[in-house]
Amino acid sequence: MARFSACRTAPINSRQDSGRVAEEQAEALLKRHGLSLLARNWNCRGGELDLVMLDGDTVVFVEVRYRRHAAWGGALESVDARKRQRLILAAELFLQRESRWSKSPCRFDVVAFAPAQEPNWLRNAFET
């Protein structure tokens, strides 16, 4: 019987092109500000972490949001209470699996993209 890990890196497919591009742009933005990449598209049953970065000694869980239209709310507004809970659960699982980071301080950031606007990087977007 094959065993599957509860967490893995998500495959990229054509339906995710705009999200992938936004994640690449967010990663580049964060790297320009001195953060380094720990993981990209890390997911598990509880949710997905778009980017996991290191800012000094702080592990940063980054949610990247892109909205083509603001009709249903903007990109920042789309990170609602349910989404925050899924991110927290995924972050807890990441820290359990990647135990070398389990004692590090952590925060949650959101990088939001909208057409014809500069990216909006919200540091420490919500408290756990």
pLDDT for 45-103, tens place per residue? Answer: 878 999 999 999 999 999 998 766 554 445 455 567 888 888 999 999 999 999 999 99
Structure tokens at 22: 């936004």
Comparing 8-17, 24-33, 97-106, the range with the smallest average pLDDT is 8-17
Query: What residues contact residue 75 under an 8 Å CB cut-off, 6+ apart?
Result: 65, 66, 67, 110, 112, 113, 114, 120
Residue ranges with strand state E in the chain: 7-9, 36-44, 47-55, 58-66, 106-113, 120-122
Rounded to whole angstroms, how far apart are CA atoms 39 and 5? 16
Predicted pLDDT at 105: 97
Domains of the chain: 38-128 (3.40.1350.10)
Q: What is the mean pLDDT of residues 116-125?
A: 86
pTM of the entire structure? 0.81
Residue 107: its pLDDT value, please?
95
